[in-house]
Structure 1
Amino acid sequence: MAKQFPQIDVAHQKFIEDQHMFFVGSAGTEGRVNISPKGMDSLRVLGPNRIVWMNLTGSGNETAGHLLDVNRMTLMWCSFTTRPLILRTYGTARMVQTGDEDWAEMAQQFPDHRSARQIYDLTVDLVQTSCGYAVPFMEYQSERDTMQKWVDGKSDDDIRAYWVEKNQHTIDGKPTGILG
């Protein structure tokens, strides 16, 4: 059965920190809903109602475009190991980009990564847990090195050119605000 909480408690935070992957859900007032898997060392719980996560370069940039329209966001974690559990955090988020005044302070929370596009700062207003009984067992092997290999083969200018080419608009044609 689903249970709801006004904030992230200690057990929730431990569960979040134990997961290797999370999903972000966002949507504008019109257009498609986006659900995207995220991994690597890119998320921090900073308090009972605050989560920040670093968004690395990808083939799309839907969350950024959605937040320029509507600032709501949902994050979800699933246990694929022994304890069946799904945890979602709901709230409002703001986007911090590389040129923003508080970028350096926020980026210090994470390992340095040349392909970092944005940091999302989520204010959590609801936490919900549910059973996850139908989620399959899966075994974690390791992080992929594909992103790092891609970055290692690019200059900073190449990465920014990729943002201009691939990340300036959502799939619905809305601007994302990415800095080229």
Structure 2
Amino acid sequence: MGTSYDSLLPEHESFIHAQHMFFVGSAATKGHVNISPKGHDVFRILSPNKVAYLDLTGSGNETSAHLMETNRMTYMFMALQGKPLILRLYGDGRVVLPGSEEWSELAVHFNLYPGYRQIIVSEIHSVKTSCGFSVPLYSYEGDREVLMNWAINKGDEKLVAYRKEKNSVSMDGILTPIGEAFNQELGK
């Protein structure tokens, strides 16, 4: 049986810092539930009850869209090496876009990798650990550079066009904050 906490403890923070990957789960009121793997050094603990991650441009933008309808989200970290453990953070999330008032305050916490598109911030209301006994052991070989190289090769102008085409609306037709910003630029 797992153990619940009201906030992150120092040992939870140490565990999170040692992981090379985490997962984000979100859902709107209707439609698909989304689970996204995240790599690279993009996760930050801002306080025992506040976390954020730098979200990089990808083929979809489901988490961002879901947060427009319902702010529920879950983060999951799991030990793929060493002592088994699964750690989940349950909280409320929101999107911070580049150029917004809060962006400069948050962006200083991150290495702004090529292709960054937004920061997802969460207020954490519950932390839960479980055994992780069935999670297999894997060896970390390094980060994949495919996404970084893709973003560099695209360049800023083509990334904006890509986000407009691929990141403005979710697979269930929900407008994302990026889509909303594009519509505001067009006066819609």
Q: What is the TM-score normalised by the length of structure 1?
A: 0.97
Whether the 8 Å CA contact 2:85–2:133 is kept in 1: the answer is: yes
Deviation at 1:46, TM superposition (A): 1.2
Q: Is 2:16 aligned against 1:19?
A: no
Mark the runs of 5 or more structure 2 residues left unpaired by the alignment: 183-188
Whether the 8 Å CA contact 2:115–2:152 is kept in 1: the answer is: no
2:185 is matched with which residue?
Answer: none
Q: Which moved more, 1:169-178 or 1:109-118?
A: 109-118
Q: Is 2:53 aligned against 1:53?
A: yes
Moved over 2 A (4+): none
Structure having the higher helix fraction is: 2
Deviations 1:87-114 (A, max 9, x none): 0000111110012111122111111223
Partner AA of 1:18 in structure 2: A
2:158 is matched with which residue?
Answer: 158
Deviations 1:50-94 (A, max 9, x none): 101110000000001000000111000010112110000001111
Q: Take 1:131 and 1:167, find their aligned partners in 2: how far apart are those partners?
A: 36
Q: Take 1:114 and 1:139, find their aligned partners in 2: how far apart are those partners?
A: 26
In angstroms, what is the RMSD of aligned CA positions?
Answer: 0.9
Q: What is the TM-score normalised by the length of structure 2?
A: 0.93
Q: Take 2:37 and 2:64, find their aligned partners in 1: how far apart are those partners?
A: 15
1:145 is matched with which residue?
Answer: 145
